[in-house]
Structure 1
């Protein structure tokens, strides 16, 4: 599981695009955290998530923005699905 949090939809879309183009990851979803900060979540194997997060961070920084935080969680506990399920694209669409 890999996550990036930055400020603004434009930057998070750029991050998500770079993440998917760089590695074999699936975008699980996103969340507007607070006051314009948005997190995007991807899943895949550990190496793919690391490559994807690195590429996403670089893409945001290349646009002159800052990444608030990023993380790769290798082998996340199965119970994390209770939290991440609400951020899936399917649950965010009307």
Structure 2
């Protein structure tokens, strides 16, 4: 069975806060920004991928960045070795889907 990297996610309210979280996540650890999803009514989730330690560090930094701005983090999670079926969901929210294909 194929193994996948760890994924880390943060959900907050508003584009400004999720961009701050994503920026902090990418600066704090060696993670790849996979994508984001505007869930509903302004709730936005951001998703990164990397090894377990990097994702934990990234999520902690993202949560701190949002809280430092006075906003609320609604949820955050680090999933080590996610089950391969989750790749269907991950691909749906990938930034690659937003970019024009060459």
TM (normalized to structure 2)?
0.89
Q: C-alpha separation between the residues in 2 aligned to 1:76 and 1:92?
A: 23
Q: How many residues align?
A: 94
Q: C-alpha separation between the residues in 2 aligned to 1:51 and 1:62?
A: 16
Q: CA RMSD in A?
A: 0.9
Task: Extract unaligned runs of 5+ from structure 2.
Answer: 1-6
Q: CA deviation at 1:93?
A: 4.0
Task: Extract unaligned runs of 5+ from structure 1.
Answer: none
Please say which of residues 47-56 and 78-87 is displaced more in the overlay.
78-87
Counterpart of 1:74 (choices 73, 80, 100) is: 80
- Higher helix content, 1 or 2: 1
